[in-house]
Amino acid sequence: MKVSIIMSFTDRLRNLRNTLNAWSKITYPSCEFVLIDNGGLLIQETADIVDEFKRSTSHLVTLSRNQNYVHVNRVWNRAAKETSDGEYVIFAMADEIISTPDIIQKMLECPPESRCSVKTFFLSEEMSNEVWHTQNIEELPGFGEYEDKGTTNLQKQDASLLSHITGWSRERWDWFGWFRNNERGHLWLDQDIVIRERVLGLKAVTVPGVSCYHQWHPTPIDPAWIAPGYHPVNERQARLLEESERDAT
């Protein structure tokens, strides 16, 4: 089975290099990387890092560029439907260092009817600066103590609400309707996916034996991330086949 890994990024060169370095070690034999420079300003520097990645892997790597930033849900939708052709599609954030080279095999072993997602540990700025100097990220000083968004690392046992790295067969993504294509709004990623899954009686599963490590970066407060959400009440609405009620703006 061919697997497509779709990744969008906007500058943050150190994080991108660390992330791609980890992905270069995967052992699954048949996959492609669909990379999108999403409105970044460091165009040549980003291209150089992608060229390094191409030289480090035997898999097909394509790089495209959006001149202006486009919200991730729309980038992912377009790349999945128009650029990639894998039978299994993984969406991966560019700040996440994967813990094991057999991540794809482990994702493919998950129940096919459920979306699977990788458990994420958040790294502090200090830990992120030390990634290159360690063989085991979980041995970094402070790992398991740093808190992000009110959740301690070692308490993050269930990845079902996260979309830092998530995968499903193309057939299931097609059936589900992929992501909402709204221009902005954080709800179109994690929360909206989970709301729709609940209406359909589905629950994402956490991939056993795999983690990813979210490298620290400044996070601007963007009101669009909490844009009003939708409330699907039946299968057609959950699968984006018809409109559902939306919170007032």
Write out the chain's pLDDT in tens, 249 residues: 999 999 999 999 999 999 999 999 999 999 999 999 999 999 999 999 999 999 999 999 999 999 999 988 999 999 999 999 999 999 999 999 999 999 999 999 999 999 999 988 888 888 899 988 888 998 988 887 765 444 445 555 666 666 689 999 999 999 999 999 887 655 667 788 988 999 999 989 999 999 999 999 887 656 666 667 889 999 999 999 999 998 876
> What is the reported pLDDT for 161?
63
Look up tokens 């996440």; give the residue: 96
> What is the reported pLDDT for 149?
47
| Rg of the chain in Å (alpha carbons) | 18
Domain architecture of the chain: domains with CATH: 3-246 (3.90.550.10)
Burial status of residue 149 (CB atoms within 10 A of its CB: 0-12, 13-18, 19 or more): exposed
Pairing of strands 165-169, 88-92: antiparallel
Q: What is the pTM of this model?
A: 0.93
